[in-house]
């Protein structure tokens, strides 16, 4: 069976969930071979093997942390040369898409970004994308070279599937361009204790209806009761009620969680563009004519200041 390269997103050996989701998709189209780079790369092998990686190619050179994406592109290119895979899968983060685009250019391949599903096809893997502000769903495949596909978080379940996970050293010779952009300092973002917005399985968002920064506490309380991330509409962000890093939409972040709860958000097209591929959508809005109700699975017509705290209490009660 053809091998499929999976680029591993990890922090010091701790593998992030979107990579495990990629392994689920990779198994549909071939045998997953993971590529783990940087400090702790070897520590990823056990969990990658548990989720279907037949081999784990590792290289822990300092260049991966000291410089921006080019060393990683060099390494993936070396892995493509060593494995001759039938496809390369990369998580659809900002960095992942830059790596994937540079790799595709280097190896003369076509690329598909932001896929939300992937299946085997007679002439190569077929990717599903949600395009034009999620107004259309398309299926496409790469016709030139080794397909490079970036996949959005939450596009597939994490499924255990034991495989060898055999660690092999990946030889990489870095190109001149690799050391062109040096990382000069790093500052860790203050942790909220909540999941990363683009990766969260549940997102609770607030909009203009929340009516003030201080009122976002009730959105956060619901999010915390569900173990969710907090999102915000641009109106809420522009008003200074919540950080821009939490904005969902066309000019914010794109999320695709299992559950999206929108409170006091009207459902403008630019907001929908960032959340319409969510699996289950719930809206709380006091206006029964709000456009958001056109796309929801469950809608609650009511005042969010009544509904959201009641929902939080109910979740807490049921969790015991």
User: At closest approach, how far in Å is the CB of 137 from ligand FAD?
Assistant: 21
- 55-59 and 31-37 as β-strands: parallel, antiparallel, unpaired? parallel
Spatial neighbors of 170 by CB under 8 A, at least 6 apart, are 35, 57, 58, 59, 75, 78, 79, 82
User: At closest approach, how far in Å is the CB of 72 from ligand FAD?
Assistant: 28
User: Please, which residue, 95 or 238, has the CB nearer to ligand FAD?
Assistant: 238
User: Please, which residue, 131 or 177, has the CB nearer to ligand FAD?
Assistant: 131
User: Please, which residue, 17 or 286, has the CB nearer to ligand FAD?
Assistant: 286
Spatial neighbors of 77 by CB under 8 A, at least 6 apart, are 103, 106, 107
Q: Which residues bind ligand FAD (CB under 6 A)?
A: 207-209, 233-236, 247-252, 264-266, 268, 270-271, 274, 284-287, 290, 303-305
Integer Cα distance of 137 and 277 in angstroms: 10
Written as one string, the DSSP assignment of 198-234 is TT-SEEEEE-GGG-SGGGHHHHHHHHHHHT-EEEE-H
Which token pair is 116? Answer: 């939300």
User: At closest approach, how far in Å is the CB of 243 from ligand FAD?
Assistant: 14
Tell me how crowded residue 230 is: count the other CB atoms within 10 A of its CB: 23
User: At closest approach, how far in Å is the CB of 197 from ligand FAD?
Assistant: 13
User: Please, which residue, 119 or 306, has the CB nearer to ligand FAD?
Assistant: 306
- 10-11 and 136-140 as β-strands: parallel, antiparallel, unpaired? unpaired
User: At closest approach, how far in Å is the CB of 245 from ligand FAD?
Assistant: 12
User: At closest approach, how far in Å is the CB of 289 from ligand FAD?
Assistant: 9
Which backbone phi and psi does 137 adopt, to 5 degrees? -110, 125
User: At closest approach, how far in Å is the CB of 237 from ligand FAD?
Assistant: 8
User: Please, which residue, 27 or 253, has the CB nearer to ligand FAD?
Assistant: 253
User: At closest approach, how far in Å is the CB of 15 from ligand FAD?
Assistant: 30
Place of tokens 């190896």: 107
User: Please, which residue, 38 or 207, has the CB nearer to ligand FAD?
Assistant: 207
User: Please, which residue, 82 or 301, has the CB nearer to ligand FAD?
Assistant: 301
Integer Cα distance of 170 and 232 in angstroms: 42
Place of tokens 């500052």: 187
* Contact in structure between 230 and 246 (CB atoms under 8 Å): yes
Integer Cα distance of 196 and 231 in angstroms: 10
User: Please, which residue, 141 or 234, has the CB nearer to ligand FAD?
Assistant: 234
């Amino acid at each position: 069976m053809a091998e499929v390269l999976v680029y591993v997103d990890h922090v010091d050996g701790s593998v992030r969930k979107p990579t495990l989701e990629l392994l689920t998709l990779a198994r549909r189209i071939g045998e997953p071979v993971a590529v783990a780079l940087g400090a702790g790369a070897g520590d990823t092998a056990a969990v990658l093997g548990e989720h279907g990686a037949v081999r784990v190619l590792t290289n822990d050179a300092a260049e991966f942390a000291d410089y921006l994406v080019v060393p990683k592109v060099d390494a993936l290119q070396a892995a493509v040369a060593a494995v001759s895979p039938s496809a390369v899968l990369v998580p659809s983060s900002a960095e992942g898409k830059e790596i994937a685009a540079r790799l595709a250019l280097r190896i003369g391949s076509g690329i598909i970004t932001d896929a939300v599903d992937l299946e085997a096809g007679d002439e190569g893997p077929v990717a599903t994308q949600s395009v034009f502000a999620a107004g259309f769903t398309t299926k496409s495949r790469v016709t030139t070279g080794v397909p490079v596909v970036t996949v959005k978080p939450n596009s597939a379940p994490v499924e255990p599937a034991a495989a060898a996970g055999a660690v092999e050293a990946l030889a990489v010779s870095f190109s001149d361009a690799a050391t062109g952009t040096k990382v000069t300092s790093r500052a860790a973002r203050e942790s909220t204790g909540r999941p990363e917005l683009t990766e969260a399985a549940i997102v609770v968002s607030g909009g203009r209806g929340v009516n003030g920064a201080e009122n976002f506490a009730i959105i956060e309380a619901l999010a915390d009761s569900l173990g969710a991330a907090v999102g915000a509409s641009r109106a809420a962000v522009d008003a200074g009620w919540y950080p821009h890093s939490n904005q969902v939409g066309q000019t914010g972040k794109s999320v695709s969680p299992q559950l999206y709860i929108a409170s006091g958000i009207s459902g403008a097209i630019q907001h929908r563009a960032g959340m319409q591929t969510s699996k289950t959508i719930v809206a709380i809005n006091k206006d029964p004519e709000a456009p958001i109700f056109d796309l929801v699975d469950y809608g609650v017509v009511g005042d969010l200041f009544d509904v959201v705290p009641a929902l939080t209490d109910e979740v807490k009660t049921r969790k015991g």
